[in-house]
Structure 1
Amino acid sequence: MVTPIPSMVDLLGDVRGFMAQLEQGLLGYGLPPTLGHMDHVCYRAATPQEYLQLRNALARFGDCLVEGMIGNRPIITYRLHQPLTSPFGPVPCLELAAPKAGKQHLHGLEHGEIVVSKLQQLLIDYPNVPFNTKGLAGTSPELTLTLAPYQVKFHPRSLADTIALEIARGEVVPVPDDYFIGHHI
């Protein structure tokens, strides 16, 4: 008997429902889904094993832009061969994040990121939206809007462009060869 090859929905879950919830969350704050294009969504793995399984399975749906250590855990980004459909337009990239050691979190689709030209203008235009502004001071500035249990993040540059810059500058921290050995795989 031949085992069927999993689809993106098999791997990621209800992508349409996730996108609809993000859209409804934004609309609930008076934010149109046309603020900018959503350049990627992020899926958080529950375990290192799930991360490795998904990393291997997702490789047939896209090309790896980079895999590196971010926040003390591996994250891989794929440029999808076929962008995800969304109310925000086609979503060209998918980020897969391994769990942070010692932290409990839900696994599954977690956030989407929208590229806007000016973060400060977003704050001016929508003063009553409860954006988290802590990320504005970082090297890759961002605004975050929590739409429990999800988030939408806003950036002035696409993830693919950010990755290209980080690669060119030699800023990507490689995943140690023994990372998964030390994480009970």
Structure 2
Amino acid sequence: MPTLDELLGEPHHFLAELELGLLDHGLPPALGPMDHICYRAADPQEYLRLRSALARFGDCLVEGMIGNRPIITFRLHQPLASSFGPIPCIELAAPKAGKQHRHGLEHGEIVVNNLQQLLADYPWIPFNTRGLQGHPPELTLALPPYQVKFHHHSLADTIALEIARGEVIPVPADYWLKDSGKPSKSSTDLM
């Protein structure tokens, strides 16, 4: 059975790269807690394989459709240790149909008190501000090939709110049939 490190492909190297990227831009890694990291699957088969494997390491908070593809979030039984503090969650994103992307660990998200204050305190940082209009609002800092995103609330808190408001779009029961020819466990089977 592979370890979590083996499944994710060197998360400590990834986190060290994020820390160095922040420091290179003049940002302290202690801006706030990193609440999760995200892994982008290469293809539907890798998503399904990792979804099953990650269930050994954490509890499913939600699986739903975001951006026309499934994303699942696990609260880890044992948070990942990092210079950003313990990281309690991992997000696994299925690939978007027809879009090329790098697979593997892709971004980490840091919770800060105020996004506008972050912009004011660090005016020289090339934040992507397009996400400020999103729900929930976010700032993104590209650290190629990775990125760090900044939010007001943790992903777990955002998920709890979305579930309470009935905003989660379930993965259609037949979503994986087109790729594998057989049904897989639904998101409700993992919760």
Q: Deviations over 1:144-165 (max 9, x none)?
A: 0000000000000000000000
Within the candidate set 8, 11, 35, 1:12 is matched to 8
Query: Partners of 1:181 and 1:151 in 2: how far apart?
Result: 32
Within the candidate set 128, 133, 141, 2:129 is matched to 133
Query: Partners of 1:48 and 1:137 in 2: how far apart?
Result: 30
**1:76 equivalent in alignment to 2:72:** yes
Query: Partners of 1:145 and 1:57 in 2: how far apart?
Result: 30
TM norm structure 1? 0.96
Query: Partners of 2:133 and 2:3 in 1: how far apart?
Result: 39
Q: Which residue of 2 aligns with 1:123?
A: 119
Q: Which residue of 2 aligns with 1:183?
A: 179
Q: Equivalent residues in 2 for 1:38-117 (5 A)?
A: 38-117=34-113
Superposition CA RMSD, Å? 0.7
Query: Partners of 1:134 and 1:46 in 2: how far apart?
Result: 26
Q: Equivalent residues in 2 for 1:137-156 (5 A)?
A: 137-156=133-152
**1:165 equivalent in alignment to 2:184:** no
TM norm structure 2? 0.93
Q: Deviations over 1:139-182 (max 9, x none)?
A: 20000000000000000000000000000000000000110112
Q: Deviations over 1:46-68 (max 9, x none)?
A: 00000000000000000000000
Gaps of 5+ in 2: 182-191
State the SS of the aligned residue for 1:120: helix
> Percent of pairs identical after alignment?
74
Matching residue's letter, 2:75:
R
State the SS of the aligned residue for 2:29: coil
Q: Deviations over 1:32-77 (max 9, x none)?
A: 0100000000000000000000000000000000000000000000
